[in-house]
């Protein structure tokens, strides 16, 4: 049941406001339906407009007859004559209500103590004192079995003993009632605690009902104000202006002009640097805790590299194929495997390989100390705990993954990085000799990732002196290697290794652009790998980067590279649409490439026709 009152006091008509193309109430209704958790979903409203909006999309709506004080009363009236067991109250202004939270609330009715439960609700832990003391945030205390003891707008418990580490929980407005409890609520008059705190669920406690609380760690967005609506719009269009960190709203790092980010604190460079690995790792070794080496499986047949790995005691070597882009599931499996085999956290994770292995090593080291699956942390600053010590040793140059603040993973819903202050490596070993056996075409594709990072950063609207200083240097180094060809093989290897580093630093303070946005589309739909995907796209981007695409064509010729053609020709309409929409959703990338008004400059049609050329 979704109670929907038209006249909200703080934000009149909010449920009919547009949220990424649909009214808020329609988004909420669809979200509730999509969970597949309910036999029926109804919107219960006092408004003809809302009623008609929902029924016009084939949804179910009920008009309430009476005036109601609160949502529970509205629902009670609606279900009074229905033959139902449990009814769930989903707030009309919570379009992001997601399945996991609802499921948790419903699951409490399957526990051993189910008989005792009159209703269930949801809470989430909060730690920011400002939020804890905010009277708009309702706090809840529970007993050891998670039955609610009290709800209050005051901070409860009072932290007299600062060392006691009391936990604070915020109440979230989702309820699942047994019908009898709901009908009781409807009939019984308000009592003093509810009247004082203005918290509905106190009425249940005041009449001796049992409320069982489920715990969630998902923070939804409620739409209480026009600002909330704008934020929700940005979230749905992938265009997020701010994020919540420890309960505080901060500028979204992608949009903020100023960024405060960690750089790799230790780096060793030069031929033979790899031989120092033993000395580098020794001081980090903890008793009984192994080092885990994640190594690209091309080295399985290269004893000259594998035999130099300083494996000791219970250290573990895991070969990993880089044949496809790294996934959140792959990370979860590796973490599971390590945790099962070793009773203690490893001393460190050492990643050896290309961008794929760099990202896997970063992600595994993060997920060893952060609970739950990796998909949950795709995004900005969602990681809460420091990673285990991690070392990156690139064996192919170009991505900048060795220096970046992100670990890009393909998840169930999207391709997005674990972007956090804990992501960068603690140590990087740059030994150009390790890149000796990279095949020529792969050398070009990954090298071009660096070239394209520089082009997109230098031509973007986010450009600044910091990014320029790194980007221009890396751009010139790429020209030496792939265009002028004035370097020996050894020099070229060393130079591309440093160009990769500088290219990575350049985008750290700006952003990539049109080529990466479109390449993400290719990779999402066709599984095209990052390096070659960028090349395929960039090859056709004259209209965005005319001079640099001309240089790129020259470099292809000089390096004897031929790219596959017509890869989008046989796509179904649906696939093509998906590709365009994945690319279009990369808001910060387009904003960097074309400016804040990018939506007026690029259309779905234009992207479509570009893809069809590729």
Chain contacts with ligand NAD (rule: CB under 6 A): 296, 298, 322, 325-326, 353-357, 359, 395-396, 398-401, 404, 406-408, 434-435, 437-438, 442, 446, 449, 529-531
User: Considering the complex, what minimum distance in angstroms separates the CB of residue 344 from ligand NAD?
Assistant: 28
C-alpha span between 525 and 414 (Å, rounded):
11
Strand partners of residue 123: 171, 215
Name the token pair of 61.
């709506």
| Binds Zn ion (CB under 5 A): choice among 449, 456, 548, 591 | 449
Instruction: Report how far apart, in Å, the C-alpha atoms of 339 and of each of 35, 281, 285 are.
Output: 32, 21, 18
Nearer to ligand NAD, 151 or 462 (CB): 462
Contacts of 183 (CB under 8 A, 6+ apart): 76, 80
The entry of Zn ion, ligand NAD, none near residue 408 (CB within 5 to 8 angstroms by kind) is: ligand NAD
Task: Read off the DSSP letter of residue 16.
Answer: G
User: Considering the complex, what minimum distance in angstroms separates the CB of residue 179 from ligand NAD?
Assistant: 51
The entry of Zn ion, ligand NAD, none near residue 531 (CB within 5 to 8 angstroms by kind) is: ligand NAD
580: left (phi over 0), alpha (psi -120 to 50) or beta: alpha
The entry of ligand NAD, Zn ion, none near residue 353 (CB within 5 to 8 angstroms by kind) is: ligand NAD
User: Considering the complex, what minimum distance in angstroms separates the CB of residue 54 from ligand NAD?
Assistant: 42
In this structure, is the dihedral angle defined by the CA atoms of residues 296, 299, 305 and 311, taken in order, positive or negative? positive
Nearer to ligand NAD, 152 or 435 (CB): 435
User: Considering the complex, what minimum distance in angstroms separates the CB of residue 424 from Zn ion?
Assistant: 17
Strand partners of residue 316: 292
Dihedral in degrees, nearest 10, Cα atoms 309, 311, 317, 321: 0
C-alpha span between 135 and 247 (Å, rounded):
14
Provide the CB-side half-sphere exposure for 161 (13 A, CA): 5
Are the CB atoms for 495 and 481 separated by under 8 Å? yes
In this structure, is the dihedral angle defined by the CA atoms of residues 44, 45, 48 and 53, taken in order, positive or negative? negative
The entry of Zn ion, ligand NAD, none near residue 442 (CB within 5 to 8 angstroms by kind) is: ligand NAD
User: Considering the complex, what minimum distance in angstroms separates the CB of residue 443 from ligand NAD?
Assistant: 9
Nearer to ligand NAD, 78 or 532 (CB): 532
The entry of ligand NAD, Zn ion, none near residue 359 (CB within 5 to 8 angstroms by kind) is: ligand NAD
User: Considering the complex, what minimum distance in angstroms separates the CB of residue 354 from ligand NAD?
Assistant: 2
User: Considering the complex, what minimum distance in angstroms separates the CB of residue 537 from ligand NAD?
Assistant: 14
Nearer to Zn ion, 431 or 449 (CB): 449
The entry of Zn ion, ligand NAD, none near residue 139 (CB within 5 to 8 angstroms by kind) is: none
User: Considering the complex, what minimum distance in angstroms separates the CB of residue 438 from Zn ion?
Assistant: 17
User: Considering the complex, what minimum distance in angstroms separates the CB of residue 356 from Zn ion?
Assistant: 12
Nearer to Zn ion, 42 or 545 (CB): 545
Nearer to Zn ion, 200 or 449 (CB): 449
The entry of ligand NAD, Zn ion, none near residue 73 (CB within 5 to 8 angstroms by kind) is: none
In the window 9-48, what residues touch Zn ion (CB under 5 A)? none
Nearer to ligand NAD, 370 or 399 (CB): 399
C-alpha span between 243 and 375 (Å, rounded):
17
Nearer to ligand NAD, 181 or 364 (CB): 364
DSSP output for 99-154: HHHHHHHHHGGGSTTGGG-SEEEEEEEE--HHHHH-TTSPEEEE-TT-BEEEEESS
Nearer to ligand NAD, 24 or 349 (CB): 349
The entry of Zn ion, ligand NAD, none near residue 315 (CB within 5 to 8 angstroms by kind) is: none
**What binding mask, one character per residue, do residues 403-442 give for Zn ion by CB under 5 A, x or -?**
----------------------------------------
Total residues in contact with Zn ion, by rule CB under 5 A:
1
Cβ neighbour number for residue 288 with a 10 Å cutoff = 11
Which residue is associated with the tokens 């952060």? Answer: 370
User: Considering the complex, what minimum distance in angstroms separates the CB of residue 316 from ligand NAD?
Assistant: 20
Are the CB atoms for 520 and 574 separated by under 8 Å? no
For residue 211, what is the enclosing H or E element?
strand 211-215
Which residue is associated with the tokens 């809460």? Answer: 384
Dihedral in degrees, nearest 10, Cα atoms 162, 166, 167, 171: -100
Which positions touch Zn ion (CB under 5 A)?
A: 449
């Amino acid at each position: 049941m979704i109670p929907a009152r038209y006249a909200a006091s703080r934000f009149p008509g909010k449920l009919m406001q547009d949220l990424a193309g649909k009214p808020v109430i329609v988004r909420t209704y669809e979200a509730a339906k999509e969970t597949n958790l309910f036999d029926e979903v109804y919107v219960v409203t006092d408004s003809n407009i809302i009623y008609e909006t929902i029924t016009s999309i084939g949804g179910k709506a009920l008009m309430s007859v009476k005036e109601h004080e609160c949502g529970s009363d509205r629902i009670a009236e609606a279900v009074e004559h229905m033959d139902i067991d449990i009814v769930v109250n989903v707030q009309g202004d919570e379009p992001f209500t997601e399945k996991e939270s609802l499921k948790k609330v419903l699951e409490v009715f399957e526990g051993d103590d189910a008989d005792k439960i009159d209703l269930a609700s949801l809470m989430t832990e909060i730690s920011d004192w400002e939020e804890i003391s905010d009277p708009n945030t309702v706090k809840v205390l529970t007993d050891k079995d998670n039955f609610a003891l009290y709800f209050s707008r005051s901070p409860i418990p009072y932290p007299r003993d600062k060392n006691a580490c009391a936990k604070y929980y915020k109440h979230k407005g989702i309820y699942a009632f047994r019908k009898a409890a709901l009908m009781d609520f409807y009939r019984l008059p308000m009592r003093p605690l509810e009247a004082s705190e203005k918290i509905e669920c106190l009425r249940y406690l005041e009449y001796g009902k049992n409320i069982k609380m489920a715990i969630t760690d998902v923070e939804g967005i409620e739409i209480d104000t026009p600002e909330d609506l704008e934020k929700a719009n940005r979230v749905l269009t992938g265009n997020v202006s701010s994020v919540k960190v420890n309960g505080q709203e901060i500028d979204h790092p992608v949009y903020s002009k100023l960024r405060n980010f960690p750089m790799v604190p230790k780096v060793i460079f030069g031929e033979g640097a790899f031989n120092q690995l033993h000395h580098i790792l020794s001081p980090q070794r903890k008793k009984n805790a192994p080092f885990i080496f994640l190594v690209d499986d091309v080295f399985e047949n290269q004893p000259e590299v594998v035999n130099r790995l300083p494996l000791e005691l219970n250290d573990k070597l895991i070969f990993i194929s880089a044949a496809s882009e790294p996934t959140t599931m792959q990370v979860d499996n590796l973490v599971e495997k390590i945790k099962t085999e070793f009773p203690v956290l490893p001393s460190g994770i050492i990643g050896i390989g290309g961008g794929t292995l760099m990202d896997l090593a970063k992600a595994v080291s993060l997920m060893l100390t952060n609970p739950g699956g990796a998909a949950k942390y795709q995004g900005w600053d969602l990681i809460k705990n420091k990673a285990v010590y991690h070392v990156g040793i690139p064996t192919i140059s170009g991505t900048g993954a060795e220096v970046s603040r992100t670990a890009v993973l393909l998840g169930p819903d999207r391709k997005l990085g674990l972007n956090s202050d804990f992501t960068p490596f603690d140590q990087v070993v740059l030994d150009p000799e390790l890149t000796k056996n990279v095949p020529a075409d792969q050398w070009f594709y990954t090298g071009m990732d660096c070239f394209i990072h520089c082009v997109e950063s230098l031509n973007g609207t986010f450009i600044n002196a910091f990014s320029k200083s790194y980007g221009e240097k890396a751009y010139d180094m790429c020209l030496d290697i792939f265009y002028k060809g004035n370097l020996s093989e050894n020099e070229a290897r060393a130079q591309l290794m440093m160009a990769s580093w500088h290219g990575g630093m350049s985008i750290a303070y700006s952003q990539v652009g049109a080529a990466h946005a479109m390449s993400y589309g290719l990779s999402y739909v066709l599984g095209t790998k990052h390096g070659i995907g960028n090349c395929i796209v960039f090859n056709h981007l004259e209209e965005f980067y005319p001079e640099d695409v001309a240089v790129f064509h020259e470099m292809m010729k000089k390096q004897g590279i031929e790219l596959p053609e017509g890869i989008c020709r046989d796509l179904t309409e649906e696939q093509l649409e998906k590709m365009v929409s994945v690319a279009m959703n990369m808001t910060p990338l387009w904003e960097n490439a074309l400016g804040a008004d990018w939506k007026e400059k690029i259309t779905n049609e234009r992207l479509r026709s570009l893809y069809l050329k590729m």
